[in-house]
Every structure is written in C-alpha cells, then in structure tokens.
Amino acid sequence: MANLVLIFSIFAILSAIQGILAVDYTVTNTAGGARFVRDIGAPYTLRTMNASTSFIWRTFQQTSPADRKATQKVSSFIDDMDGVAYTRGAEIHFSARYIQSYSGDVKREFTGVLYHEMAHVWQWFGNGQQVPGGLIEGIADYVRLKAGYAPSHWVGPGQGNRWDQGYDVTARFLDYCNSLRNGFVAELNKKMRNGYSNSYFVDLLGKTVDQLWRDYKAKYATA
C-alpha cells in the first residue's frame, strides 16, 4: 500500500455547555502505514481526536470558545520518519516506523501519544515569553496521565531529578501540585496564555516551585 493516502474528516459538534464550535479533523496516511491501517485506522483516529479535544477542554477548564485557541481544523499525518510524533501548530505528525515496530499494544500507545500531541494543539505557550520546555511537555503528559494512558515504562510518583525535567517526571509533579489545589494545572495553563513566570506557582500554591519540588520528593521518599 505504498503511497496510499487516506483522507477522512468529521465535524465535532460540542455540547451547549462547551459552546457551539465545530472542529474539523483530518487524517492523512502519507507513508502507506500498513500497521496503522490494520491495527488503528483513520476512523478510530478521528474519533479519538474528537474525544481528546473534549477531554482537554475539560481538563484545562476551557468551558467557552473565548477560553480556547481559535483553532477550527486539526490535521494528523502518518509519515515515514524517525522518532514518535511531533506537533507544529494544528498539525500532528506520527511516525509510521514507530507504529510498525512497536511491540506492545500499539492502539493504546497510539492513543496515549495522540492525547499528548492534542494537548500541544490546545495548550498555551506563554505568549512569546520563555517557558521551560520540560513544563510544556509535562503538561501534555499530564493530560495523557489523567486520560488513563500512562505507559508502564513511565517513572513512578516522586522520581526524577528536576521539576522541569519534562514528560512523565513533570507530569507526576504536576499531578501532585493539582492534588494540593484542584484545578491547578488548568489555572497554570490559563496564566500561560499571556506570559510565564515561575512565580505562578507561588500565586496558585503559596510556595516556590523549588519548595514544592522538595515537598514532593519528601512525600515519596523511601525509608
């Protein structure tokens, strides 16, 4: 199925509580990706893009269109490339090679990666101000964690060397912060719409991020 291109699209009509907004989703299998077609499929991908958007809006407490990016179309591509996936704007690119070579439950893995990448589509990035890259990736993995798609190889709570180490380490730390103040991650993301400062942690939790990290490590320290 070389050079096979499958393009599908659907409209996600959201409930009244979220506001009336249609998002168009497309999937393009540029690589031919035989295992993607067999074990995942474009229809499943489209449904998951729709479901993940709704989940992310709830997680970020973006209850109205005014709270969100004005993104009307999100496109996914199954490409012949190295790595796992990346997002640029409202385009998500998955590696057909990774899908083909994955030895476990590839559909579950794909779903978790999709939730992570869809979080990048919808999260805020500090409005041009410098944001720790590890925090950006940690928020995306926090979404994956809360959606129930954390893989078995992730670190456990309390592990890692720095709060902004990124990915699973930062996701676990953010989950701890959210346990101190329900909705913390949503509020942090909202603040990042206009800028970024480590002082946001003080604003929301009353402690510096470094003190929160020490508290977090102490909570999960073994005897």
How does pLDDT run across 122-159, given as a tens digit for each residue? 999 999 999 999 999 999 999 999 999 999 999 999 99
Tokens of 95: 């590696």
Contact 126, 142 (CB under 8 A): no
What are 80's two structure tokens? 């012949």
Only one residue has tokens 């480590």, namely 198
Spatial separation of the C-alpha atoms in residues 23 and 156, rounded to whole Å? 35
What is residue 222's predicted lDDT score, i.e. its pLDDT? 66
* Averaged pLDDT, 45-59: 98
DSSP state of 22: E
Of 29-38, 106-115, 141-150, the least confident: 29-38
Q: Is the pLDDT of residue 161 over 80?
A: yes
Give mean pLDDT, residues 56-64. 97
Burial of residue 89 (CB within 10 Å: 0-12, 13-18, 19+) is exposed
- pTM, whole model, 2 decimals? 0.90
Write down the pLDDT at residue 32: 85
